[in-house]
Amino acid sequence: MQGYRIAIILGLAAATIAPASARSAIDDALAGADDTVGAVAKPDYLECVPYARQLSGIQIFGDAHTWWSQAQGRYAIGHTPRIGAVMAMEPYANSQLGHVATVSKVIDSRTILVSHANWSPIEGSRGRIEKNVTVLDVSARNDWSEVRVWYAPIHNLGNTHWPVSGFIYNARPNSGAAGGQDPALQRLDDVSAAPEAPKKRKKGRRSDPIGEIIAGLY
């Protein structure tokens, strides 16, 4: 009987130690994160900032609402969604720190898919990752200054019109990435729009050489 109790105690000790030793990259990213005092972050808990940084490669740190100002002069910025760009949302309503999400697909001029973290509560928990969810531009000028975002609990777009500062591209400022299309396509358009060079007149036999000579005299 005593041996059986010892086995149970050792088993419980092993179960307690194992998760602590199995750290992940997400655990490391969350080290020192400002979370509820006394709460322990779940292994799949992630804030929006480190996840956007991981997906986009844009090396900006700090709260989401600071990303737009931090990007000035460091990264190309604009108001056109592009795959891989980070959509920077402003603080609004119950979101005091703002939010960032990475564009995963452009559907049309009003619809994109994004991947982001810590937006919808899923199974009663926040800090979850959502991939390829819908964002709809509801701005009057179709400039992506206001959007509705997919909200998992209702399986639909939320009704709130969230203000957006713009999109941050993983490119240098003035690189052309902030334009409405890929810089390579822009260059192609520039070439196709350039005026054609005057065509050289083909040399050949004149139809009326005598008439042209007479016309030249008068």
184's torsion region: left (phi>0), alpha (psi -120 to 50) or beta?
A: alpha
Report, as an integer, the average pLDDT of 47-64: 98
Q: Which two tokens stand for residue 41?
A: 């972050």
Domains of the chain: 44-191 (3.90.1720.10)
Report, as an integer, the average pLDDT of 74-85: 98
Report, as an integer, the average pLDDT of 41-56: 85
Q: Which of 26-35, 115-124, 150-159 is predicted least confidently?
A: 26-35
How many Å apart are CA 16 and CA 21, to the nearest integer? 10
- pLDDT tens by residue, 91-112: 998 889 999 999 999 999 999 9
Position 87 pLDDT exceeds 60: yes
Report, as an integer, the average pLDDT of 16-30: 33
Biggest alpha carbon–alpha carbon distance for the chain: 130
Report, as an integer, the average pLDDT of 24-29: 33
How many Å apart are CA 102 and CA 51, to the nearest integer? 9
For residues 204 and 64, the model is more confident at: 64
Report, as an integer, the average pLDDT of 26-42: 36
Half-sphere exposure (Cβ direction) of 156: Cα atoms closer than 13 Å: 4
Position 199 pLDDT exceeds 50: no
Q: Which of 3-17, 74-88, 199-213 is predicted least confidently?
A: 3-17
SS (H, E, C) the chain: CHHHHHHHHHHHHHHHHHHHHCCCHHHHHHCCCCCCCCCCCCCCCCCHHHHHHHHHCCCCCCCHHHHHHHHCCCCEEECCCCCCCEEEECCECCECCCEEEEEEEEEECCEEEEEEECCCCECCECCCEEEEEEEEECCCCCCCCEEEEEEHHHCEECCCCEEEEEEEECCCCCCCCCCCCCHHHHHHHHHHHCCCCCCCCCCCCCCCHHHHHHHHHC
pLDDT number for residue 138: 98
What average pLDDT does the chain have?
A: 75
The strand pairing partners of 106, in sequence order, are 112
pLDDT band at residue 3 under the 50/70/90 scheme: low
For residues 206 and 36, the model is more confident at: 206
pLDDT band at residue 66 under the 50/70/90 scheme: very high
pLDDT number for residue 94: 86
Report, as an integer, the average pLDDT of 53-72: 98
pLDDT number for residue 45: 82
Q: Which of 19-28, 98-107, 141-150 is predicted least confidently?
A: 19-28
- pLDDT tens by residue, 171-187: 999 887 776 444 433 33
